[in-house]
Amino acid sequence: MSPTQNASLQGKVALVTGASKGIGAAIARELAVRGASVAVNYSSSKTGADKVVDAILAAGGKAIAFQANVSDPASITPMIESVVKQLGPIDILVNNAGIYEFAPLEGITPEHFHKQFNINVLGLLLVTQAAVAHFNPAGGSIINIGSVAASGFSNIAVYGATKGAVNSITGSLAKELGAKKICVNALNPGMVETEGAHEAGFLDGDFQKLTEAATPLGRIGQPIDIATAAAFLASSDAGWISGQTIYASGGYTA
């Protein structure tokens, strides 16, 4: 758990999608440390989600795991209804669920395109749509996890496009949901040391060294670096911040 032991989110209910590992898991734990009751969403890794829940409970927090595939509309509404029934109206939504597949231009296929857009973009919209209908009338915060990849890099045209869409959607929803007193912001990490980054071979090699050299703060990120930024955006301290794209990347933005 994080050493940050404040109660800035006491009494709040948070839903974090894709929270069974990596950045999502770190965000779920950090929100719980600050007092929120956390709905830990997962698609297939129940074991991973249960570990996150167990860690939160062991530290004295409150959390429950909820299964739903964000790209499947039929599974989203039941999840939202279960969250509200068991934890209460939603105050915080963190749209973290996402996938990435890299391919050069000649390797792009309709399947490659739709798989990523269905989860990273359509899934974000569908979950937000369902969650907002059950938000606390007093308002709250939506945090969309994007990526510095939105700036455009070789061999990630489709993935980068999904994250560019996240930035655009954030601006639109901030304007649309402002009347409901809901702040909407995008939080865009740089390279972060996660299970997925290790599995993809991004770490402990030349790619990591090149990224560190191009990062003003001289290191890659840790999940807690993103989690504490998300917790700030979820709190009343960020109550006048909305429609923003915020980079949590050690200064690396392009």
247 belongs to the catalytic site? no
**Residues 40 and 32: beta-carbon distance below 8 Å:** no
Structure tokens at 63: 């959390």
Supply the DSSP symbol for 249.
Answer: S
User: What DSSP line would sit under 163-227, residue for residue?
Assistant: HHHHHHHHHHHHHHHGGGTEEEEEEEE-SB--HHHHHTT-SSSHHHHHHHHHSTTSS-B-HHHHH
Helix (H) or strand (E) holding 64: strand 62-67
Residue type, 11: G
Among the listed residues 42, 100, 159, 252, the single catalytic one is: 159
CA 181/CA 152 separation, integer angstroms:
33
Structure tokens at 155: 């061999």
Instruction: Give the catalytic positions in this structure.
Output: 159
